[in-house]
Structure 1
């Protein structure tokens, strides 16, 4: 998992930010905590919101983790 590409799409006020892990869309996030939950479901159980914000594994499109 640690080498898998993670993409958080641009913000959308209605649908949130699409989160893709590898080639699979895992859901839509409305906050950093949602991205952390998707990462945990993907096998990184120890990840929290701070890990998500600091990670270089995640490509943020349309703004960083502070844009929702």
Structure 2
């Protein structure tokens, strides 16, 4: 991705996993809690990122804190 395209896309931060969930912020705005990578992608689409530009493994777009896109703790039983 070139520098011009990076500036056009929002910055996505996915917090460390906690109780099977991960808080997601886009450009510093809290957009919710995800329990799987596909939910992060959905939040990105809702924030205006074109589907063909969503790359969950692109560190210039998504910052995974406390583990990568495949690191999710199991939710506690009800």
Cα RMSD for the two superposed structures: 1.9
1:59 aligned residue: 63
- Structure 2, unaligned stretches of length 5 or more? 1-7, 73-78
- Structure 1, unaligned stretches of length 5 or more? none
How many residue pairs align between the two structures?
Answer: 64
Larger Rg: 2
| C-alpha distance in 2 between matches for 1:47 and 1:29 | 21
| Residue 60 to residue 9, structure 1, CA distance change in 2 (3 Å) | same
Runs (4+) of structure 1 moved beyond 6 Å?
A: none
- Match status 1:6 vs 2:7: no
Q: Which of 33, 39, 51 is matched with 2:38 structurally?
A: 33
| Residue 34 to residue 28, structure 1, CA distance change in 2 (3 Å) | same
